[in-house]
Amino acid sequence: MQVNQLTSVSAPISVNLEVTDKCNLSCSFCFNAAPSYEAMMQSQEKQDRAEKAQNELLISVRKKRILKTLDRLHETGVLEIRLFGGEFTIFKSWREILEYASTKGFLISFVSNGYLIDGDAADALARNGVAECTISIHGPRDVHDAVVKRIGSFDRAMAAIKYLRESGVVPTVAYTPNRENIDTLEAFIREMCEEYDVMSFSISRLFSDDRYSNLTLDDYYRILEVIDRCHRDLGVEIMLADSFPRCQVPIKYWRYLGYCSQGVTFAQVDFNGNIKNCSATSKILGNVLEEDVTKLWPEKLSGMWRLDHLPKSCKICPIFCGGGCTVSRGVENQFAPDEFIPWPSDESWLQAIAKTVYNRVRKIGHRIFYAQHYAKPESVKELSNTPVVVEYNSRPEGEGHVVMFKNFGVRQLTDQAYEVLRYIDGKRSISEITAIVQKKYNGTSEAEVVEILKSLPLR
């Protein structure tokens, strides 16, 4: 019987940096406005006010603290920073933070409502290495403006998309489904694609709190139907991000379901250095300015990695999906099973085994379905004699190296594969790379090097 667990890593790889908790919009569902989160921030504000009186302007205190936080994250081995908020563009010194992160060698991306991104901002982002980003838009013009409670926001977001594209930054549109916008999702995606040429969408789970009603399983089925239709009709890439229990979803939709990396390779860190495993939860794990993250991360999260919060059926599930979203039952729940699966105490071993049998059958069904509908002939990759690899950032991890490739995600490489990667520079030939690698790994053949090269995201 398969026994699942999450991968353990010494420290996060990608961090959402909450540059500010403030925002120029007021989305009805925003977890940044959740009461307990506000309470937490208010107590921090008091501390900040005291510091302001003693030292200098709050903004400069904040900036210094953020730069120090970036130093600590760099020392810890974090590879990617995503500027986040609140709305990071309303923090006056955001350009300095961006430049500092870039000089530290982080891969950089961001999530924004786009309201303040003009041509100059887009150029600054591109100049500092940002290649892709997320702009949040929650429906057609009238719907979006009503959701974010500011007229003109839709047009500003669309202008941001235009400026970003002109600067070479590829945007994905993030959409948060809720009662106000769910009926216009299909019209929205079609308009975005046909009139604005947006081809990439990420639809989040709605994390609930007591200010608004949550979505039902039926609502998510409707969303998945729309995703499937739009993908097939328009060729757009759309994911239902934040993970969804695969046992609750027809097999044909599994291809649209994301996985969640929170608490494993992903963390959120705020402008005071407070670190959380998930952006939506209000519970803090510790502080990167005061504690060693490589100690804190395994100490606070090993229970989650062991799946202590999940029912037995997830622990032995043959289609393990991570158990869905840990805060779908509410942003106060830091480690809870997804709202559409049982609590551990609500499930007997008999039920777990029955579900495992059901999931095993669906796993086989999934394989057959995809082989019939989506099997592609294997493409033969032409390899240049002087290969070039996409930009990356890396750190040693366990027996090898963890590497984050720009726009291609994270890979774990053996030391030998990493040695090959290090010498790809667009000038050295494959034989030259082989000769160098052989010095460290005697007996490495050119055929082995070619296999490694083929597995890497080459340009």
Instruction: Give the contact letters, 132-151, x = binds to ligand SF4 (CB under 6 A), - = no.
Output: ----x-----------x---
Half-sphere exposure of 188 (CA within 13 A, CB side): 29
Least Å distance, CB 148 to ligand SAM, is: 8
Q: Would you tell me the crossing angle of helices 119-127 and 94-103 to the nearest 10 degrees?
A: 20
Least Å distance, CB 279 to ligand SF4, is: 10
Task: Indicate the residue among 101 and 413 with the shorter CB distance to ligand SAM.
Answer: 101
Determine if 12 is a binding residue for ligand SF4 (CB under 6 A). no
Candidate residues 98, 160, 164, 174; the one interacting with ligand SAM per rule CB under 6 A: 174
Determine if 23 is a binding residue for ligand SF4 (CB under 6 A). yes
Least Å distance, CB 26 to ligand SF4, is: 5
Contacted entry of ligand SAM, ligand SF4, none for residue 207, CB cut-off 5 to 8 Å set by kind: ligand SAM
Least Å distance, CB 328 to ligand SAM, is: 9
Rounded Cα–Cα distance for residues 267 and 18 (Å): 11
* Local structure of 311: helix, strand or coil: coil
Q: In the range 234-263, which residues lie near ligand SAM by CB under 6 A?
A: none
Candidate residues 113, 181, 333, 434; the one interacting with ligand SAM per rule CB under 6 A: 113
Q: In the range 290-319, which residues lie near ligand SF4 by CB under 6 A?
A: 313-314, 317, 319
What is the DSSP annotation of 385-400?
SS--B--EEEEEETTE
Residue 198 CB burial class (10 angstroms; 0-12, 13-18, ≥19): buried
Task: Indicate the residue among 69 and 89 with the shorter CB distance to ligand SF4.
Answer: 89
**In which element (H, E) is residue 143 found?**
helix 141-148
Task: Indicate the residue among 212 and 349 with the shorter CB distance to ligand SAM.
Answer: 212
Are 156 and 114 in contact, with CB atoms under 8 Å apart?
yes
Contacted entry of ligand SAM, ligand SF4, none for residue 420, CB cut-off 5 to 8 Å set by kind: none
Candidate residues 100, 106, 175, 320; the one interacting with ligand SF4 per rule CB under 6 A: 320
Q: What separation in angstroms does the CA of 372 have from each of 225, 364, 366, 375, 376?
A: 20, 13, 10, 6, 10
One-letter amino acid at 76 equals: T
Determine if 328 is a binding residue for ligand SAM (CB under 6 A). no
Short-list 193, 192, 253, CA closest to 227: 253
Least Å distance, CB 163 to ligand SF4, is: 18
Scanning the structure block, which residue is given the tokens 């009503």?
Answer: 146
* Cβ-count burial 370-380 (b if 16+ within 10 Å, e if not): eeeeeeeeeee
Please give the structure tokens belonging to residue 227: 């995703």
Scanning the structure block, which residue is given the tokens 């900036």?
Answer: 63
Determine if 37 is a binding residue for ligand SF4 (CB under 6 A). no
Instruction: List residues near ligand SAM by CB under 6 A.
Output: 23, 27, 29-32, 84-85, 87, 111-113, 136, 174, 176, 204, 206-207
Instruction: List residues near ligand SF4 by CB under 6 A.
Output: 23, 25-27, 30, 32, 85-87, 113, 136, 148, 245-247, 313-314, 317, 319-321, 323-324, 341, 355, 359
